[in-house]
Amino acid sequence: MRMSCRAAPIVFALGLITWAKAASAQSATPKQDGPPPVADHTQRESVRPLRVGVIGGVGFPRPLAIEALTLLGESVALGAEYGVLPDLTVDGVRTSLWSLAGDVRFFPFRHGFFVGVRAGRQHVGADTAVTVAPYGSANESLSLDSWFINPRIGFLSTSAAGLALGMEVGVQVPLVADTTSSLPLALVPGAQRTADALGSSILPTVDLLRIGMVF
């Protein structure tokens, strides 16, 4: 009986310690009401309000183009583009072309399809050799600088990994053109026709492929 009385406080203390440990462990475990939540993989990822990137393109009348692109949400994209036609000789006329332009695209359905407009300045250079009687041959340099506007439609898609792919078609309309020639234009009809065809005529524009990265 004496042993039982002496052991009672020890048993009580051990029971109290065990209960305290169990209560502490239970309070450390987050309480859940109902079944555990299920991950919703169909929930749409949040769209960053601003993304930037670079895309390149091949097409007509500028076979090579590179564009710095800024995406504002899912509805608007702003760009600054440099396009170039490497030196090309046609009918004895060496022709070159470059352009600088800004553009804006609107995505009415927020994905892929867009309507847009590009506006900027284009330079066309034409060099040829002409024969001027009775003085002999002379080199002719002709340049045509024009401001243009280029409405267009197309498709531009960006993946979650940042890959951008697209294509587009439009019409380039010259607004103001200025021609400079080292010889009277009447003496260089070939160079004038080439420059006018690329710089002061309404042209279709086609970008067969646009590819780049957006971050």
- pLDDT tens, position by position, 189-215: 878 888 888 899 999 999 999 999 999
Residue type, 67: E
Count of beta carbons in the 10 Å neighbourhood of residue 87: 10
Element spanning 212, H or E: strand 203-214
pLDDT above 50 for 3: no
d(CA 118, CA 204): 13
pLDDT above 80 for 178: yes
pLDDT digits (tens, 9 = 90+) for 110-131: 879 999 999 999 999 999 887 7
Across the range 65-78, mean pLDDT stands at 95
When pLDDT is cut at 50, 70 and 90, the band that residue 84 belongs to is very high
pLDDT digits (tens, 9 = 90+) for 43-65: 445 668 899 999 999 999 999 99
pLDDT at residue 184 in the model: 78
Return the CATH number of the domain spanning residue range 50-214.
2.40.160
The pTM assigned to this predicted structure is: 0.73
